[in-house]
Amino acid sequence: MATSLVNMANVPVHLFLNPLHTLTAVLGCGTLPGGPISSRTFTATGFSLPTGMVYSESGTAADVAGMSRSADGAGAFVMRIVLKAVYDVLEQQGRAAGLPDFIIRTILNQLSVNITYTPLECERVVANPTTPVRPERMKPTCVVFGNTVTALCNANGRCMLSGGAPDMILKAIPSQYHSFSGTLSSSNIIMANWSRDMWQSVVNKEARVLASGPLGSHFYSAVATTS
């Protein structure tokens, strides 16, 4: 099931959290017996690239605010924004259901998020160019406008901002960099019984948080899917 971030309805509280008395009753033995974990995978696609999701070890990236300096740094950036979105979703829905904070914290402590993402490496970076970009010794050059990595340039001659001869045009960023996957895992005995639709509702709301936050312009047109 795929959901566009701009067409998501509010998710009913009962799809996120069971009634207060049910959750409270299981807190004493709220994890699954023997510690098994219930998991659901998801994929996010169709977003543009904020500078934090790419990395460069080149000195040419020094003038680009927020660009990660390593692949691990870019991966940590993605993990951080997704984890915050998931936690925000469950906290909001928990409070809407009337759950006290200590129960919400218990649920969050029983949840883990893992992200798989291969970030784009920018061997050279050009920020906010106003003239054609010249590749340097055929190194792939990332073109950045504002806080968005918009294109790659690895042509033989000048790399035009738009149009130009076939060997002089900007290349679109490959689609694999506009996608990441993840796994939501919980040892909570209630969440273990959630259906795919319930997990999809979490992912929908998580994506909506990203689309309405500081990176909203990057995630506005993204699509979230569970499997």
Q: For residue 114, is it within any domain?
A: yes
In a domain, 155, yes or no: no
61 is a domain residue: no
From the first residue on, what is the mean pLDDT of each consecutive set of 10 residues in the chain (227 residues)? 36 41 43 62 92 90 87 95 91 86 88 92 82 63 87 62 46 86 86 82 88 90 87
Residues of the domain holding 79: 1-11+20-26+34-49+69-118+180-227
Domain count, the chain: 1
Residue 140 lies in a domain: no
Phi, psi of 35 (to 5 degrees): 85, 15
**Domain contains 138:** no
CA dihedral (122, 147, 216, 6) positive or negative: negative
Q: What angle do CA 182, 224, 5 make, to 5 degrees?
A: 140
The pTM of this model reads: 0.77
Kindly state whether residue 192 falls inside one of the protein's structural domains. yes
Q: 60 in a domain, yes or no?
A: no
Residue 201, in any domain of the structure: yes
**In which order are the strands placed within the sheet that holds 111-116?**
2-4, 223-226, 38-45, 179-186, 111-116
Residue 129 pLDDT: 75
